[in-house]
Structure 1
Amino acid sequence: MTQSFFQSFVILLLVTDPFGNVPLFASALSHVPVERRGMVIVRECAIAFLLLLLFMFFGRHFLAALQLTDIALRIGGGVILFLIALRMVFPQPGGVFGGDGEVQGEPFIVPLAIPALAGPSALVTVLLFSSESAPETMLNIGVLSAVALVWLVVLLGAARMQRALGPRVMTAFERLMGLILTAMAVEMLLAGIRAYVRSL
């Protein structure tokens, strides 16, 4: 049970990648008053947690109702992540998720809760965690709760991290994460294509 918890925890933590989301959160919150940023982070983490929890329980029913497959979700997620990664490597005036570059209000749900934390890869991961067994279900809820706590610790300390490292290091870090995200997106896309070809 402990080994299963640890393995699931590591997998979900790597998929949601809170450390890699630090530059993204910093960019999205740059126009939010400093005193409000903590509340926004907590709110967005809570929304992402609830969405992943709902998808863990009802994801398969939702996909079946829409006649969508895991393969379609993986390929679509790979395309979206690839486009986001390109904007991280080659910055645009509107930021990572586009826009006109003007001052925006508080981010709500998009882009922080979705797709930064509860992105397609995270949804697929919790979908695979779904189980009919009550003990396994409780274990998976515990895994998701532990990962959400890591999100809060990392993202609430992001401002101190930025001050300690400086803007140039954070920019270099964001581009490095963009390169890594590009590779992850291509791998997700190729995995989806391979699965589709095998299903023919």
Structure 2
Amino acid sequence: MEYTFASATVLLILITDPIGNIPVFANALKHVAPERRPRVILREILIAFVLLLTFMFVGQRFLELMNLSELSLQIGGGVILFLIALRMVFPPPDAPEPETFGEPLIVPLAIPMIAGPSALATVLLLVSQQPEKRLEWIAALCVTMAVSAVVLVGAERVQRLVGSRVVHALERLMGLVLVSVSIEMMLSGIKVFVQRISQG
């Protein structure tokens, strides 16, 4: 699959899912003073950004170390995205979230809510398939983190403005798009795999 700056940005925004993270962030920060919350959100986004950026630079070496091919990463990443997208479209019944006291640090906000397995696999895939576009992928990641910051810092205002039903509807719409992206990713990987077998 060939990605552009725009398509990579949209994909990363869908995967990091800032709208779907609003309830998780609200629960994790409910014991944090309101005036302190924006700083905590920005700190967690920065931590996630540094981690994802690191994977962009060491991702290829990681694949070589683990003896993994780009094809397996593409198909495996597609499967992960598909499962996550299904949870966005058909969310499981609400379960009580663990209580957090004080300021959360790294877990669970930066990891895995923003820089989760699917996001890490995606940046690895982008760099491994088109390493010559690394600067574009870095720019796409910067835009993604900026969007997450705007959405999460203004989450309370967004919920008051549009209501929780609209937020849930948007998340399902994003999940539907991500289902299509994940299936395309898997089909592309399977197509290449079949071609290699037929040629071999």
Tell me if TM exceeds 0.5. Answer: yes
Q: Does the CA-based 8 Å contact 2:60-2:127 persist in structure 1? A: no
Q: What amino acid is aligned across from residue 91 of structure 1 in structure 2? A: P
- Structure 1 residues 194 and 39 mapped into 2: Cα distance closer, same or farther (>3 Å)? farther
Q: How does 1:72-151 map to 2 (within 5 A)?
A: 72-93=72-93, 101-105=96-100, 106=104, 107-108=108-109, 109-115=111-117, 118-131=119-132, 141-142=138-139, 144-151=141-148
SS in 1 for 2:122: helix
Distance 1:172 1:147 in 2: 21
Q: Does the CA-based 8 Å contact 1:18-1:155 persist in structure 2? A: no
Q: What amino acid is aligned across from residue 26 of structure 2 in structure 1? A: S
Q: Does the CA-based 8 Å contact 1:12-1:122 persist in structure 2? A: no
The share of aligned pairs that are identical, in percent, is: 41
**1:191 aligned to 167, 188, 191, which one?**
188
Per-residue displacement from partner, 1:135-191 (whole Å, max 9, x unpaired)?
x76666455445433432333233322221101111211222222222222111112
User: Does 1:54 find its partner at 2:43?
Assistant: no
- Structure 1 residues 46 and 196 mapped into 2: Cα distance closer, same or farther (>3 Å)? farther
Q: Does the CA-based 8 Å contact 1:49-1:148 persist in structure 2? A: yes
Structure 2 match to 1:3 = none
Aligned residues: 184
Offset of 1:20 from its aligned partner? 7.5
Offset of 1:110 from its aligned partner? 0.9
Aligned-residue CA RMSD in angstroms? 2.9
Structure 1 match to 2:26 = 30
Comparing 154-163 with 169-178, greater Cα deviation is found at 154-163
- Structure 1 residues 141 and 84 mapped into 2: Cα distance closer, same or farther (>3 Å)? closer
Q: What amino acid is aligned across from residue 77 of structure 2 in structure 1? A: G
- Structure 1 residues 62 and 92 mapped into 2: Cα distance closer, same or farther (>3 Å)? same
Distance 1:140 1:178 in 2: 22
Distance 1:188 1:87 in 2: 18
Structure 2 match to 1:180 = 177
Q: Does the CA-based 8 Å contact 1:8-1:143 persist in structure 2? A: no
Q: What amino acid is aligned across from residue 59 of structure 2 in structure 1? A: G
Per-residue displacement from partner, 1:73-104 (whole Å, max 9, x unpaired)?
1111111121122222222135xxxxx53334
Per-residue displacement from partner, 1:31-72 (whole Å, max 9, x unpaired)?
123535434432332233222322222211110110001111
Q: Does the CA-based 8 Å contact 1:18-1:154 persist in structure 2? A: no
